[in-house]
Amino acid sequence: MKKLTLFYLEDCPYCRNARRALDELVKENAAYAGVAVDWIEESRRPELAEQYDYYYVPTVFAGETKLYEAHPSESYSDCKEKLRAALDAALGAAR
């Protein structure tokens, strides 16, 4: 199973949606609770954030592979489905 790295900003509404969506996804599927998600607030760790290729937050990586990057005007349901796909990819890496 791959660990996921999630870059976010504290005051970002899309990032709050991502946190809420991940909480809901774990409640819906207990297997998702086994996926380690390293939450990195990019303004506190700019030296780390600069090592990754993304523009918008939240963004999720498995290793160096980008699995999800939010986009302006993204809906909550879009965010949740893309995070579900990232979690599924992380779980699939364990097989």
- Rounded to whole angstroms, how far apart are CA atoms 86 and 66? 9
Question: pLDDT tens string for the chain (95 positions)?
Answer: 689 999 999 999 999 999 999 999 999 999 999 999 999 999 999 999 999 999 999 999 999 999 999 999 999 999 999 999 999 999 986 44
Pick the CATH number of 4-92 from 1.10.3720.10, 3.40.50.720, 3.90.25.10, 3.40.30.10: 3.40.30.10
* Domain boundaries defined on the chain: 4-92
pLDDT averaged over every residue in the chain: 94
pTM: 0.91
Task: Classify the phi-psi angles of 81: left when phi > 0, otherwise alpha if psi is within -120 to 50, otherwise beta.
Answer: alpha
| Runs of H (alpha helix) within the chain | 13-28, 46-49, 76-92
The pLDDT score that the predictor gives to residue 2 is 80
